[in-house]
Structure 1
Amino acid sequence: MDNVNLAPENNGATQEHGYLMAYDKKEQKAKGVKGIAANGELETLEANEADKGQFIKVDQRGNFFTNFGKNFLYHYNNPRRYSLYNIPKETPVEQAKEKIEAAQLPQNEAVRKELASTRVYNNHRYNEREINWEQAARYGITPDVLKNSKDSLERMLQGKSSAVAFHIAKPSELGRESGDAKLSLFRDENGVVKFDIHYIRQAPKVGEDYRGYTLTEADLKTLNQTGNLGKTVDMVIDYRTKETKPCYLSKDPVTNELFHMPVEQARVPRKVKDYTLSPSEYEAALRGEEVPIRFKSNNGNYYTTSIQMSAAERGVEFLWERSTKKLEEGQKQEQQQNSNGEQQVNGLVQTAGKPLNKEEASRQAEKKTRTRKPTITPKM
């Protein structure tokens, strides 16, 4: 099998800081990472000192000594199969292998914390090359359509649904289907990446069962307000075994679809922008609660909002206008800076809390009318 060229770059003064190892979740063992094969699969070697020289080297900034550079993480298929680790060069390979494999066991929390700083994360659950774009194009789905719709393709590769809903019309066995829906990606039983269509549906009702959890009136009020339940609840994660685990619960504000995510999959950051969470705030975020923060943006302005764990976003999200809590100090300063909750920025009105991005500024400046949803229709 021909390999993609992964020869070390000539970086001059850049020095090797570590080497790359991976935990193969399928084979349940730690391996050294050699590169990427031509078919997009990660190339690995047995974890032993003799093969260490063939492992991908990592510099002190965390960059890989490959011709892919920082984009290495986006060039291999099945990113969810592996957990990557940047191991210090002085650490013996066998020792690293032992620790990585031990960290996968539930009882070894101390080992996981020790290796936390060495983890190399890839936010993509799917690789763009895995998508059958030729087939998708027959239904009007192209990379450009998704990229130009608030960067929906990037969200979908991360395992999230598209940022906007599309108007979809397609024939089916019963006749013709038509409706507004968001798109996401999934793997079928053969591991093939396909599109999942999330049509807009009726809002959940009081007493409705979702994976063994019965929704209450208070639950729906919270879900409608912030999009998240604000706590963890036990849910069925495997209908075959009836296994339940503590999960986060969220609702998509456009499609009304409910999403769940096991707490054990949560990655709560200790620092958001320039705001460092206190131990109590970190624990609150881990419990799924809304945590108010105040941070300084790149333009020098301070903003107050809240963060919360979202099952729909597969991680922590900013609530912005959905915030129900704010830091008291941040509120006082915000009131002084922004009278009546608004602020003039180069002639543009900026709502207190959420900074204007270029798209919003342009939309306000030109006073454009709202455009229709992108339409996806099959090409006959």
Structure 2
Amino acid sequence: MSDNQLDNLAQLSDILLVLDKERMKIEAVKSLHQNGQMETVSPTKKNQNQFMRIDKHGDFLSNFFSNFYNQLKNPSNFSFFKVPAPIAIEKAKEIQNHYKSPSTESEKNIDEYEIKTDSLEHTNSKNKDNMETEKTEYRFDSEQIDWETMNNLGLSKERLEKLNQLDPLLKGYKTNQLIPVSINFGSAILRTDVRLSLQQTDDSKIVPALHGIRKEPNLNYEFFGHRFTDEDKKNLLDTRNMGRVVNLINSKTGETIPSIISIDRLTNELIALKTEYIKIPDEIKGVKLNEKQKQTLKEGKPLKIEGMTSTKGKEFSSYVQYNADKRYVEFLFDKSLDSKQSQKEAFEAPKMFRNKELSKEQYNDFKEGKTVYIDGLVDKKGQPYQGYITFNKESGKTKFSFPNQLKETAQPSEAHKTQVAVNSKGKTNESTKHLQKELKPKQQSPKNKEDKKAVEKVSKSVKSKRHKM
């Protein structure tokens, strides 16, 4: 296709951009698979020819996009934008910047490109097949909300609808993003970012609750009667989930409530969720869960699932865990969890190192984390070499050191020390100082009969001289 034809195609088509609400990342839609998984690419010039193009003059919402949206797996996890092809890359950057640093001005600039999916979500609500288990019924009515207070915060109904945040509020959830608010105290004005939720007062008014950003979660004081252990704190700081069920106490009624606890990723606020509200899906990314796996997740514990299929059709494995704040099973790609799990599930030491099999004695020392001498290794040029190996039981990795690189912290056996001292450093002791040949692995004294006799003869001569003196 010629450059002119490409330019004409661009002028007549739009590009579909998508915001992944979980990662808050903008990408361009490439295709939709039959299983409902969407394939995306980074909105760069390099990937421009892979962007899905849409007829600029077609009946977009009622035809193509409605079918696309209804076939999509996990549609509520995404927001979509339809932008002209010639400015798609520029607009993708602009939209991404807005979600990194929201402002009223940038909100207006991107609003005209966003596709409103409220009606489509309502039609498709019965067919949702995702990890989120949010209730579809509404907890509040928009007419009950104290809009006067909302407006004083700069939160009009129209603005919340444009941000796609009114619907989750009415369902009883917090906004899934930080929203700038302005509070006028008369003599001072406070401008800050908050997550927003709705609460019902004793006189049945529906008022906004502002969840401000904390520098760090407060884990040093009791939380509804629960005092955090050191392990609780570590789990919360590592994965934002405590990892177990605890009994919390309702301060008003004294009721004991089995709950799980997580940290709000946007505000660092501690969030509790009753275990009765935990709903575990039957399947996650193509892998059906058995009852034991479901029970692990219901108890708030992390679970490793292998053989899942990504949106791009690639197989992957990951830990998953139920998050009290998000109210669904989330993926945990944090390396700290792998490190923690490796301590509980110690890695098995390999019996081979660089095609050299370890002896039984070597392996027993090696798997215990001791430094072991190994020879008979061959480099890429076919040259033999030797050195020391140490196994890290926490990481499952083997460290290799040449004799002259061995750190003081590594403690090889005495036999290995003698061999290196004699062969590599030219040192001797009474049994080796008259030896002309190199010692073999673990050898501390000469084993050849002739060598032994030579050493013994010299040794007797030395002793005789000492007696005469």
What TM-score comes out, normalization by structure 1 length? 0.48
Q: Which has the larger Rg? A: 2
Greater helix share, 1 or 2? Answer: 2
Q: Which has the higher contact order (CA 8 A, sep 6+)?
A: 1
Greater strand share, 1 or 2? Answer: 1
What TM-score comes out, normalization by structure 2 length? 0.40
